[in-house]
Amino acid sequence: MTKKPRSLKRRGIPRSLSVSLAGIRAGGALAVDGAMQKLLRRDSDTEDSEFARREARRFVDELGKLKGTYVKIGQMMALFGEHFLPPVLAEAMHNLGDQTEPLDWEAIEPVLRTSLGGRYAELDIEPVALAAASLAQVHVATVRATGERICLKVQYPGLADVIDSDFDTVVRMLMLARWLQAGRDLDDWLESMRTHLHNEIDYRREADLTLRMGELVAGVDVGDVSYAVPRLHEHFCTDVVLALEFMEGLSVTAAPVTALPLERRNALAAGMLELFFYELYDWGCLQTDPNFGNYLLRLDDGGAEHPRDSLVLLDFGSILDCSDEFLYHLRNTIDAGLRQDVALLGDSLIGLGCLPGDATEEARQLFADFCLHLLEPLRPDAQLPREYLNEEGQYRWADSRLMHRAGKAAARSATSRHFTTPSREFALIARKLTGVFTFIAVLEAEFNAYEMVAAHIARWRERDALGKK
């Protein structure tokens, strides 16, 4: 008997029915138990109950079984939906892993043949996937004419045909279970999510952004660390295939990286932070998916007295092009945070849509406290908390437990009656910054960042005074 190739469960009754049944089961169980109303009131006892957690896990497990778009939708809801979803559900969705079992070659090979046409014969493609995620998998190929190895990011078959229907199914079931309640804010949030999802499967857009980021990082010199973006092989790019230079490297968590001397780990960490400030203050576009899988580290093992390691940047499907107005307020937010200017910070948060225009002083102070927590490592040296400094007065990123402390401040803000749901753009930036800080903490870096960010702010202020972006 011939083995049937693995493939994603596709549209139609089986695919939507699985999610529907999970939603009905969860919603019905909550209603019968009487826990529904408590959950909607955000009662803390209910939120922490094993019953609520079990029903949330059941729903999320069903999304995970279906893979593909359902996993990505769940991940996005976990990221953007903390202000709309019950905490137990948001927590469960955070456990949806991005790494999935790849489809069998028999399911992927027809996609490559059809999409590449005659160009397919120009490649020797390895049938075993190098990596797999929720929307695509990667195969290594060799260009027969040159012997060059390239990576082919292949979108799962039929994805574009089901992305909207899958999204609508998840939303419908969440509302059926009464985990979402209709409203204007919700509609705006869902539409932003849908747009983000479509951007991630637009490979023509990603190809253009890859070229753009490659050009931008080529003009940057930060001394101790270099940046690299895989070269685009446009000849093999299609609507569902992205062809890139094959680049080797290590994860930030790899043993050879963690074993590096502190000086080199500091340089890599500072390079990551500097990249963020270039994106924000110089380029106006940010890669908003700081997943560790989107970065590789290439170590300089040439024996040089001053080795120069490289940070390889991957995956530009989640690039955010910010408007001039948004950038102005965001840049001011960071500047105000460093100067601990609560008045300017409040005005900037209003400009970003995080506070209403008539926000009280209490609300301004509450949100300012959160921002001041998050921006702590960027303060002038004399203002850094001494308990998180080493003997040389350098900030110890890992020991500071910054994300834990900032998370508590964020929770206090979110429960305030003054709270206004932030925009998708702001949520993406917050995700980016926390990802960068976590990257630095994993490296157990010890350095102060004020001079770095102050230089970027000064250049921006100078350009702003001259009327430039």
- Digit-coded pLDDT (tens) for 188-236: 888 888 988 899 999 999 999 999 999 999 988 887 899 999 999 999 9
How far is it, in rounded angstroms, from Cα 461 to Cα 40? 46
pLDDT (0 to 100) of residue 397: 96
Can you say whether the dihedral through the CA atoms of 445, 399, 293, 406 is positive or negative?
A: negative
CA neighbor of 353 nearest in space, from 192, 175, 130: 192
Residue ranges of the chain whose pLDDT lies below 50 = 1-5, 9-13, 24, 26-48
Does residue 61 lie in a domain region? yes
pLDDT (0 to 100) of residue 425: 76
Contact 152, 125 (CB under 8 A): yes
Q: Residue 446 CA to chain centroid, in angstroms?
A: 24
315-345 burial string, b = 16+ CB within 10 Å, else e?
A: bbbbbbebeeebbbbbbbbbbbbbeeebebb
Does residue 291 lie in a domain region? no
pLDDT (0 to 100) of residue 6: 54
How many CB atoms within 10 Å of residue 234?
10
Domain range for 34 is: 13-100+159-200
- C-alpha radius of gyration, the chain, whole number: 23
**Total count of domains within the chain:** 2
The residues, ordered by sequence, that sit 6+ positions from 444 with a Cβ below 8 Å of its Cβ are 258, 262, 265, 396, 397, 398
Does residue 451 lie in a domain region? yes
CA neighbor of 392 nearest in space, from 448, 321, 454, 350: 448
61-74 burial string, b = 16+ CB within 10 Å, else e?
A: ebbbebbbbbbbbb
HEC readout, 119-155 = HHHHEEECCCCCEECCCEEEEEEEECCCCCEEEEEEE
Does residue 261 lie in a domain region? no
Q: Verify that 32 and 168 share a domain, yes or no.
A: yes
What CA dihedral angle connects 164, 168, 170 and 175, to 10 degrees? 160
Task: Tell the residue number behind the tokens 């895989």, with chain if given.
Answer: 230
How far is it, in rounded angstroms, from Cα 20 to Cα 135? 22
Task: Tell the residue number behind the tokens 């169980």, with chain if given.
Answer: 29
Hey, what are 429's tokens? Answer: 């930036």
Does residue 307 lie in a domain region? no
Give the residue from 149, 181, 200 where a domain finishes: 200
Say if residue 373 is exposed, middle or buried (CB neighbours under 10 Å; 0-12, 13-18, 19+).
Answer: middle
CA neighbor of 432 nearest in space, from 270, 291, 296, 325: 291
Does residue 1 lie in a domain region? no
How far is it, in rounded angstroms, from Cα 182 to Cα 279? 35
Does residue 460 lie in a domain region? yes
pLDDT (0 to 100) of residue 16: 54
pLDDT (0 to 100) of residue 98: 54
Contact 156, 8 (CB under 8 A): yes
pLDDT (0 to 100) of residue 4: 44
CA neighbor of 141 nearest in space, from 127, 131, 155: 127
CA neighbor of 331 nearest in space, from 233, 437, 454, 245: 454
Give the residue from 170, 200, 230 where a domain finishes: 200
Contact 338, 378 (CB under 8 A): yes
How many CB atoms within 10 Å of residue 420?
19
Contact 239, 203 (CB under 8 A): yes
pLDDT (0 to 100) of residue 68: 77
173-204 burial string, b = 16+ CB within 10 Å, else e?
A: bbeebbbbeeeeebeebbebbbebbeebbebe
Does residue 114 lie in a domain region? no
Q: Residue 154 CA to chain centroid, in angstroms?
A: 20
Identify the three-state secondary structure at position 344. Answer: helix
Task: Tell the residue number behind the tokens 């964020």, with chain if given.
Answer: 410
The residues, ordered by sequence, that sit 6+ positions from 455 with a Cβ below 8 Å of its Cβ are none
How far is it, in rounded angstroms, from Cα 200 to Cα 192? 13
